[in-house]
């Protein structure tokens, strides 16, 4: 299995089912809650965990952990791994396939099929976006069983969602009224349609037989590779070349690929030259071989802040209010607050989203334009689209409380028994005040403990390490002084998490 | 002169003009920018300085500093003094009259007249609200001269503002078309009208001869006392009793009153029993003796966030955008941001106001309901209506950066040469990290300097003092540890600012 630390031997020749979770999205549309380094799939906006972790837990009811692979891009791989870490032993069995950079879903699925084909040529792939909401997990699994049956019979199977309104933000699938497929619960797909205008969407809704395209697919690995060869021959050629770079030709059953293989410069070049195209457009719309499961589960692709209306329960006035809010006479509005107070009066069909460094205010019918805000921030060389004030790390998290002239203040929280890397800064010194827990401090040759309400000092150019020796979280306030206070002023000498 | 440190002797028997600035307002309507401890008159929302300081500077073009008195309430007196401190020597000459508590404007004017009558029985009072905007200071002074002339001829003189729209938020004055008063530029007032409904306001506007009531008045001190005797006899009786408490009967020319006199328990009781009534309603509407100056200056009482439209220049789309904002396609909207980013899309006639701990979002036509938000916060025993994260002090300011469980982080800024009080905390210790400047630290018997990038520690129950010995500001980060971290855990042993 590729890059999974466990199960290095199995070569399954049976019809094993594998889950391919596509987690490469940037999630601009959920700004300011999503950031470039904290994309939509990492948000907990629906349900009890982040969308990615919910997706993993959901599919884990159907396939073993070692059969789950996450496809993400090289730049997001480390953060994504850290993000799923809270799933414990489950997370450790999950494999990663790293695209050198994002090229839409057809190349991503192709790369995954390439790898999976080596491990289990007779496998069936379930392709799942990491950032969709499916509140009814059990219904989903029942429908999935039907889809797998269809895939076994050499079809490409998709899931159609029964439309409940004339949505213009989704693609549509027209299905045959009755199944002539031989497989129970599956409909023949007549055609895919791109996102329609409102008039067309209304017609689809009134005619019936039209479904929303969920973007969830099931097919044999061998089958999708063959379809790529037919419909996207240029992608297929490139995949073949990549295969030669990723696998040794004389070891056809090579069970795993080191992560570094995805950084092979030739592979990066090949991948960057691929045409960005979606699996929907590149394969599903072109193949005659498509079946559809009319889904019984609720679903939303959470395409924007307005889409929350579909999957979050509203109060009597139609509002969704989260966090520290005081609302007077508002209707059909969504307010996402954190610890800071968001007070609203008489809002109608509005969205307000607050984060520690940025707030968005917009009518629901213009939420799509949040992309323009993000674009403006990028052009202005700012940070509010890039990172959050609180950054998750494998050892815990840090929060930038204030940046000033030649100083920066952070709250640093270490999980029980966690430690930061042994490190050194060339241009800043650090004062640490322990506000809860006990800190174990390494400072050059010294090793000592700092208890709550004690402080210590790390001069510039001094090797140091912060560690939590206890079973309760450690919290310190760090005051940095220096002429350069960015994260890249760090030299690491040893790290529990393999960072350099 | 009452409580003014200078000019302890003068007893002016001529027609001296005095300015009485009413600065007792709480300014709920400008929440979240205004707070109970930082009311509207302390905000810099129009012009280059706070409304109160602008009011002082404006009237100082007409009367000497020693003739300016601020009437405020006991609980706001110290903060108000600190607030005007930045006016330098001008501030030192300004006198304070402290109401024990707010009882609307008639008692405030009565108390001021009582004091002023003792100092200068032949004086003329100009009564000015501290929180109005008058962008044309010179035109105002020209009109003021006209008003003073009227007051000399024993009239109560008010200023009428020519209405430019059918405003329902102001009271109206109906004036005679031509002056029969003998005084040039003054019109006889026929009647005052309470805030009208829209239909009535439109009628006033189309008929002409109606003016907005500005709440600015000029009269002889002796005259207003006599009018109070006639129209508010109960207030007059109480004032007479207060006079006996404030002044020694055998010293008719007693030139000043110590601030403590306003804390006399008998006076507090008398004052708290006064009927809260406005000078407009109690005197101006009842007296036959009223003249009006048709004002040539622009004016706004800044009654709400929506009123800013009258006095702040808007962009082409009718927006007022302040601070860190990104706005896409918004119209006729006001966004007041600070350092945090406020991003807006497609707002129409909305108001968004951001502060470090609270944000308000409301349509312009519902801004008056911000009172309800403040009421909700009060009932919830919260802090967002009470104080700002940054609190001004005579020695500089402090900003609460974070409150956690058993810890609190502050940025403390000391002006050049300023010092905090010699103090002690019973329940918290403090870590100080100097991030700019030099700190002089007193810790029990020790006195030492802490330079930038150095830290020090103040244990619980330890007498200490922080001082800035340099000519540049000092900035420290303070991390407090303890089980109780409120401002009232302080014992002061010595203070440059007379605090206890």
Residue B278 banded pLDDT, cuts 50, 70, 90: very high
The two three-digit tokens of residue B395, written as one number:
């020695």
Q: How far is B392 from chain A (nearest CA, A)?
A: 19
Specify the pLDDT at position A251.
65
Cβ distance of A369 and B343 shorter than 8 Å: no
Among the partner-chain residues A341, A357, A409, the one whose CB lies closest to the CB of B358 is A341
Pick the residue with more confidence: B92 or A178? B92
Q: How far apart are CA A155 and CA A227, in angstroms?
A: 11
Residue B441: HSE in the Cβ half-sphere, 13 Å Cα cutoff: 21
Cβ-based contacts of A382 with chain B (< 8 Å): 341
CB-CB under 8 Å, B352 with A343: no
| Residue B8 to residue A110: CA distance in whole angstroms | 91
pLDDT of residue A255: 60
Task: Please determine, for residue B177, whether its predicted confidence score (pLDDT) is greater than 80.
Answer: no
State yes or no: pLDDT of A14 exceeds 70: no
Q: Kindly state whether A397 is in contact with chain B, defined as any CB-CB distance less than 8 angstroms.
A: no
For the residues A442-466, what does the mean pLDDT come to? 96
Assess whether pLDDT exceeds 80 at residue A315.
Answer: yes
Cβ neighbors of A381 (< 8 A, separation 6 or more) are none
Q: What is the pLDDT of residue B496?
A: 84
A429–B453: do the CB atoms touch at under 8 Å? yes
In the prediction, which pLDDT does B421 show?
94
Q: Does B457 contact A at CB distance below 8 Å?
A: yes
Per-residue pLDDT, averaged over A164-176, amounts to 89
A453-459: long-range pairs with CB below 8 Å, 24+:
A453/B429, A453/B481, A455/A431, A455/B431, A455/B455, A455/B457, A455/B479, A456/A431, A456/A432, A457/A429, A457/A430, A457/A431, A457/A432, A457/B455, A458/A425, A458/A429, A458/A430, A458/A431, A458/A432, A459/A429
Measured between CB atoms, does A350 come within 8 Å of chain B?
yes
Measured in Å, how far apart are chain B's first and last C-alpha atoms? 25
CB contact under 8 A, B361 and A354: no
Residues A396, A407: Cα–Cα separation, whole Å: 22
Residue B345 sits at the chain A interface (C-beta within 8 Å) = yes
* Mean of pLDDT values over A260-280: 93
Q: Which of A298, A353, A366 is nearest to A320 (CA)?
A: A353
Query: Are A406 and B376 an interchain contact pair (Cβ–Cβ within 8 Å)?
Result: no
B407 pLDDT exceeds 80? yes
Torsion of CA A482, A488, A493, A499, to 10 degrees: 150
CA angle B417, B418, B421 (to 5 degrees): 140
Residue A247: predicted pLDDT: 85
Chain A interface includes B344 (CB < 8 A): yes
Q: Which has the minimum average pLDDT: A26-35, A312-321, B423-432?
A: A26-35
How do A290-294 and A187-193 pair as beta strands?
Answer: antiparallel
**Over the stretch B111-120, which tens digit does the pLDDT of each residue have?**
999 999 988 8
pLDDT of residue A295: 95
Highest mean pLDDT out of B24-28, B47-51, B307-311: B47-51
**pLDDT reading at B10 higher than 70:** no
Task: Considering only residues B194 and B470, tell me which one the structure prediction assigns the higher pLDDT.
Answer: B470
Residue B251 has pLDDT above 70, yes or no: no
pLDDT over 70 at A161, yes or no = yes
Give long-range contacts, CB 8 A cutoff, 24+ apart: B307-315. B307/B169, B308/B45, B308/B46, B308/B334, B309/B334, B310/B133, B311/B46, B311/B133, B311/B135, B312/B45, B312/B46
**Cβ pair A342:B359 closer than 8 A:** yes
Picking from A326, A345, A479, the nearest residue to B366 by CB comes out as A345
* CB pair distance less than 8 Å for A411 and B405: no
Say yes or no for a CB contact (<8 Å) between B346 and A363.
yes
CA B342 to chain A, closest CA, distance in angstroms equals 5
Chain B residues 104-133 with CB within 8 Å of chain A? none
Q: Is A485 on the interface with B (CB under 8 A)?
A: no
Mean pLDDT of A57-85: 93
- CB-CB neighbors (< 8 A) of B340 in chain A: 356-359
Q: Do B481 and A453 touch (CB under 8 A)?
A: yes
Residue percentage of chain B with pLDDT more than 90: 76
pLDDT at residue B376 in the model = 93
- Cα–Cα nearest to B431, from B448, B410, B401, B417: B410
Mean pLDDT of chain B: 91
Average pLDDT over residues A213-218: 95
Please indicate if any CB of chain A lies within 8 Å of the CB of B384: yes
Residue A358 in contact with partner chain B when CB distance is under 8 A: yes
pTM: 0.87
Mean per-residue pLDDT, A294-323: 92
pLDDT at A7: 42
Are B456 and B467 a contacting pair, CB within 8 Å? no
Task: Return the pLDDT at B6.
Answer: 40
Residue B176: pLDDT above 70?
A: yes
Using the Cβ of A377 and the Cβ atoms of chain B, whether some distance falls under 8 Å is answered with yes
- Partners of residue B402 in chain A, C-beta under 8 Å: 401, 411
* Digit-coded pLDDT (tens) for A218-247: 999 999 999 999 999 999 999 999 999 988
Instruction: Check if B445 contacts A (Cβ < 8 Å).
Output: no
Segment B207-244, tens digit of pLDDT: 989 999 999 999 999 999 999 999 999 999 999 999 99
- Interface check for B226 against chain A (CB to CB < 8 A): the answer is no
Read off the pLDDT of each residue in A483-500 and give the average, rounded to a whole number: 88
* Portion 15-54 of A in contact with B at CB < 8 A: 32
* Minimal Cβ distance to A406: which of B326, B370, B435: B435
Say what the pLDDT of residue B169 is: 84
Encode pLDDT of B417-435 as tens digits: 999 999 999 999 999 999 9
Q: Which residues in chain B touch residue A361, judged by CB atoms under 8 angstroms apart?
A: 342-345, 347, 350, 352, 361
Query: Given this model, what pLDDT does residue B182 score?
Result: 61
In the predicted structure, residue A178 carries a pLDDT above the cut 70? no
| Chosen from A326, A384, A436 to mutate, greatest number of chain B CBs within 10 A | A326
């Amino acid at each position: 299995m590729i890059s999974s630390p466990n199960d290095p031997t199995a070569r399954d020749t049976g019809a094993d089912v594998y889950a391919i979770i596509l987690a490469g999205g940037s999630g601009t549309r959920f700004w300011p809650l999503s950031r470039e380094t904290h994309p939509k799939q990492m948000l907990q906006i629906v349900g009890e965990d982040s969308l990615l972790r919910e997706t993993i837990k959901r599919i884990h009811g159907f396939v073993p952990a070692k059969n789950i692979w996450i496809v993400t891009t090289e730049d997001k791989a480390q953060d994504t791994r850290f993000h799923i870490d809270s799933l414990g032993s489950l997370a450790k069995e999950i494999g990663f396939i790293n695209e050198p950079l994002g090229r839409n879903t057809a190349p991503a699925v192709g790369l995954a099929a390439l790898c999976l084909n080596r491990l289990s040529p007779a496998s069936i792939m379930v392709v799942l976006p990491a950032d969709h909401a499916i509140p009814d997990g059990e219904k989903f699994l029942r429908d999935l069983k039907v889809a797998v049956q269809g895939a076994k019979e050499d079809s490409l199977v998709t899931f159609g969602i029964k439309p409940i309104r004339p949505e213009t933000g989704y693609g549509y699938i027209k299905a045959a009224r009755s199944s002539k497929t031989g497989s129970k619960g599956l409909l023949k797909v007549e055609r895919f349609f791109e996102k329609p205008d409102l008039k067309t969407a209304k017609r689809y809704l009134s005619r019936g037989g039209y479904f929303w395209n969920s973007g969830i697919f099931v097919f044999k690995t061998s089958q999708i590779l063959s379809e790529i060869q037919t419909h996207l021959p240029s992608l297929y050629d490139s995949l073949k070349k990549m295969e030669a770079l990723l696998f040794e030709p004389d070891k056809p059953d090579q069970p795993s690929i080191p992560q570094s293989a995805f950084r092979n410069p030739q592979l990066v070049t090949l991948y960057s030259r691929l045409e960005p195209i979606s699996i929907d457009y590149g394969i599903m719309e072109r193949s005659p071989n498509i079946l559809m499961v009319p889904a019984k589960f609720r679903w939303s692709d959470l395409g924007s802040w307005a889409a929350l209306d579909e999957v979050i329960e509203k109060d009597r006035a139609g509002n969704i209010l989260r966090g520290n809010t005081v609302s007077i006479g508002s209707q059909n509005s969504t307010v996402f607050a954190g610890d800071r107070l968001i007070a609203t009066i008489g809002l109608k069909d509005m969205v307000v989203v607050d984060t520690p460094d940025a707030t968005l205010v917009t009518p629901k019918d213009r939420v799509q334009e949040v992309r323009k805000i993000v674009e403006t921030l990028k052009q202005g060389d700012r940070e509010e689209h890039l990172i959050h004030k609180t950054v998750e790390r494998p050892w815990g998290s840090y929060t930038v409380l204030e940046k000033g002239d030649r100083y920066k203040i952070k709250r640093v929280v270490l999980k029980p028994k966690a430690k930061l890397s042994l490190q050194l800064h060339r241009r800043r010194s650090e004062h640490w005040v322990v506000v809860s827990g006990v800190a174990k401090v390494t400072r050059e040759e010294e090793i000592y403990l700092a208890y709550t309400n004690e402080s210590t000092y790390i001069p510039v150019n001094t090797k140091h390490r912060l560690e939590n020796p206890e079973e309760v979280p450690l919290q310190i306030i760090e005051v940095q002084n220096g002429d350069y206070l960015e994260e890249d002023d760090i030299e690491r000498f040893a790290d529990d998490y393999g960072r350099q």
